[in-house]
Amino acid sequence: MKFYVKQHKFYCGIDLHTQKMYLCILDDTGEIRLHRNINTSPESFLAAIKSFRGDIVVGVECMFTWYWIADLCSEEDIPFVLGHALYMKAIHGGKAKNDKIDSHKIATLLRGGMFPLAYTYPARMRATRDLLRRRNHLMRKRSELFGHIQNTASQYNLPDPIGRIAKPHNRLGVVERFSEPSVQKNIETDFEMIKAYDRILRKLENDITCSAKQHDPLAYALLNTIQGVGKILSLVILYEE
């Protein structure tokens, strides 16, 4: 685990939420110079730190709301660090906990060189990584539908296995193997959902592949030359490693 150890004149710890953000700014002696709850907006943030911008670092715990403030700090040339949520919990966890206390603890970790760093993912690739993760989520939902069909076949003890229905040509005649109309409708519904997922996933994969070729064409091409690494795994390695 790496820690942020650079020295600054001011250290800003933020407990960040969707509507409000609690700021705590310490100077290099540890004195609190500002401790305030403000609106979660670029205007409010920049106004709050205006008099400290000569030499300040901003630290935020790695939660789902950090994208905008990381990008804002980058645009405004303000040093920004992202805190590893698990290690920060281990370091500053305690019974006394609220937004005000947490912001002070984050600023204290920054000043003391004990702020555990998480990777600040590059903004230009971030949205595509999120899209790839969404694709994985949808693929799991698709897999659940296949599992439901297989479980239903076992539930009604079909005499022969229904085979590898992930391949479209193996799905022919599967519905008719169930005698109960309501069960047939159940399986038909699963297959219709699978068809919809197949169409959506194909488009997503094409879009993500196009983005990968723009972001890092050489790395993507090299990943595809590795034996046993296919198109999707190449994308996962490119965007997650």
**Confidence at residue 95, expressed as pLDDT on a 0 to 100 scale:** 59
- pLDDT band, residue 136 (cuts 50/70/90): very high
Average pLDDT, the chain: 93
As a whole number of angstroms, the distance between CA 62 and CA 82 comes to: 6
Q: What is the pLDDT of residue 81?
A: 97
pLDDT for residue 180: 93
* Mean pLDDT along residues 76-99: 82
Q: Give pLDDT tens digits for 169-198.
A: 889 999 999 999 999 999 999 999 999 999
pTM: 0.84
Q: What angle do CA 45, 54, 31 make, to 5 degrees?
A: 75
pLDDT digits (tens, 9 = 90+) for 216-234: 999 999 999 999 999 999 9
pLDDT value of residue 36 = 95
Name the pLDDT band for 163 (thresholds 50, 70, 90): confident
Domains (ranges, CATH) in the chain? Answer: 3-118 (3.30.420.40), 123-240 (no CATH)
Taking residues 124-140, report their average pLDDT: 96
Q: CA 219 → CA 82, 89, 225, 239, distances in Å? A: 26, 35, 10, 11
pLDDT at position 38, please?
96
Which residue has 């939902």 as its token pair? 141
How far is it, in rounded angstroms, from Cα 198 to Cα 194?
Answer: 6
For the cut 70, the answer to whether the pLDDT of residue 96 exceeds it is: no
pLDDT at 128: 97
Can you tell me the mean pLDDT for 40-50?
A: 97
Task: Match 């519905």 to its residue by tokens.
Answer: 175
Check residue 93 and give its pLDDT.
Answer: 62
Residue by residue, what is the 3-state secondary structure of the chain?
A: CCEECCCCCEEEEEEECCCEEEEEEEECCCCEEEEEEEECCHHHHHHHHHHHCCCEEEEEECCCCCHHHHHHHHHCCCCEEEECHHHHHHHHCCCCCCHHHHHHHHHHHHHHCCEEEECCCCHHHHHHHHHHHHHHHHHHHHHHHHHHHHHHHHHCCCCCCCCCCCCHHHHCCCHHHCCCHHHHHHHHHHHHHHHHHHHHHHHHHHHHHHHHHHHCHHHHHHHCCCCCCCHHHHHHHHHHC
Q: Percentage of the chain with pLDDT > 90?
A: 86
